[in-house]
Amino acid sequence: MHFREEPVTPVYRHWMCEQVGCNGELLSTGESITRLSTSWKHRCRNCGHENWADATYPRVAYLPVDAIGPDDFILEARPFHGF
């Protein structure tokens, strides 16, 4: 086998609610449906809006090191509500 390795940067990816004025985060409810692929139900913890995605959020994603610049990091304090 032949492998090629590249450095990556892990990022924590949040799915933000798109409802006007909400600015909440959609979290996986754990409910899923499977047809040709699996979809996961998510609910906004602020407004209750529901939507489906092909992955659960929040999640860790990996980006190439050069995809992230020094101005791309947003630090915000928010309370931890568990998983």
User: What average pLDDT does this structure show over 28-38?
Assistant: 92
Q: How many domains does the chain have?
A: 1
Residue 43 corresponds to which tokens in the numbers above? 């609910």
* Per-residue H/E/C for 9-77: EEEEECEECCCCCCCCEEEEEEEEEECCCEEEEEEECCCCCEEEECCCCCEEEEEEHHHCCHHHCCCCC
Give the domain range for residue 28: 8-69
Q: Which helix (H) or strand (E) holds 60?
A: strand 59-64
**Residue 60 belongs to some domain of the structure:** yes
Indicate if the pLDDT at residue 76 is higher than 60. Answer: no
Q: Assess if residue 83 is contained within a domain.
A: no
Does 27 map to a domain? yes
Find the mean pLDDT for residues 33-59: 94
Query: Considering the domain boundaries, does residue 32 fall inside one?
Result: yes
pLDDT at 67: 74
81 within some domain = no
